[in-house]
Structure 1
């Protein structure tokens, strides 16, 4: 006996609605709904729409490959209309991550994971020595490392250097931050 593909209600929750059948109009509306809420590069939008296609195909018994061309058209339409701009996304995301104290290496890794082109990742994650130092100071302050530590600074020096190195900062910058006074901004 085959398993029933319909969703089963969980305890205390109503049953989920079955996924809609895939059509060009549905994919376009789903893309617009996603882009209203999130800024995304083309590769991320494609992954989101592919998940919707896969879910619908699993439920309705369709073949996901049938919808590949339709999905490509929807993504291309979003890119050509300017709703999806990988360069703008990469620059904005890099600036946001830098303000949070992330290193250039961490920024490059995050952008690559989102599917941004390698050339754009390299451009967006470039940082001057001053920007990298400021980000390292912010990371150390948030993690209470070096001058912002509450413990024995000398005894924990290696741990603090290692923490900044794992965060992607070069050792030269990590040493400058951990051995610094901490009041420079």
Structure 2
């Protein structure tokens, strides 16, 4: 039997329905951790791809849009089901992501912005950041400082400047790191403390944060 040529379009899949969307959600969550909004967006993209393929196959655009209306209406219920299964948990996602981002050198402010952009509500973001980083006026200050040190290490500035760097290069890296840290959401005092720290203490603080 002759195989179809590669130029031939793939047969159009059936119109997405609740069952297919549920399968797509489960497959996605088996691979990725996601927020409620993240899963909603993924399912919406799944539907949008079908619409584009349908139109490319010759279906009228309005007809294609009407065909997927039931699927779009099913998204919220499917995501609620995923929450009921424990596969979607914005609070758990937020706390895990907050710890991961902080250990990667993100500031408290950028961690909160990252979570907010993923649809996590403000109260959940605040609680997750407090749980993961500690209170802003207490333990959280040391965690923020350690994150700033990770940031400085990536830029080979302050205590992490190359041993063979001369004074001019070290000063240039210091000033550039200060500017970059301000853009990344670190406070001026935190950035300066990180960049002025001795190497041994800096490495010790990073290690303690990552072991916590």
TM range (shorter): 0.7 to 0.9
State the Cα distance separating 1:18 from its structure 2 match. 4.2
User: Where does residue 147 of structure 1 map in the other structure?
Assistant: 159
- Is 1:165 the counterpart of 2:182? The answer is yes
State the Cα distance separating 1:137 from its structure 2 match. 0.8
Distance 1:140 1:156, change over 3 A: closer
Residue 25 (structure 1) aligned to one of 19, 28, 45: 19
Residue 54 (structure 1) aligned to one of 27, 48, 65: 48
- Stretch of structure 1 that moved more, 165-174 or 37-46: 165-174
User: Where does residue 84 of structure 1 map in the other structure?
Assistant: 88
Q: Is the partner of 1:62 in helix, strand or coil? A: helix
Q: Equivalents in 2 of 1:59, 1:15: separation in Å?
A: 9
- 1:88-139 CA distances to partner (integer Å, 9 max, x unpaired)? 0000111111111111111111111211111111222233100001111111
TM-score when scaled to structure 2? 0.75
User: Where does residue 106 of structure 2 map in the other structure?
Assistant: 102
RMSD: 2.2
Residue 116 (structure 2) aligned to one of 108, 112, 117: 112
More helix by share: 2
Q: Equivalents in 2 of 1:121, 1:18: separation in Å?
A: 41
Report the structure number with the largest CA radius of gyration: 2
> What is the total number of aligned residue pairs between the two structures?
175
Q: Equivalents in 2 of 1:19, 1:158: separation in Å?
A: 56
Which structure 1 segments of 5+ residues have no match?
1-7
TM-score when scaled to structure 1? 0.85
Which structure 2 segments of 5+ residues have no match?
55-63, 134-139, 205-212
- Is 1:74 the counterpart of 2:68? The answer is no
Runs of 4+ in 1 over 6 A off after TM superposition: none
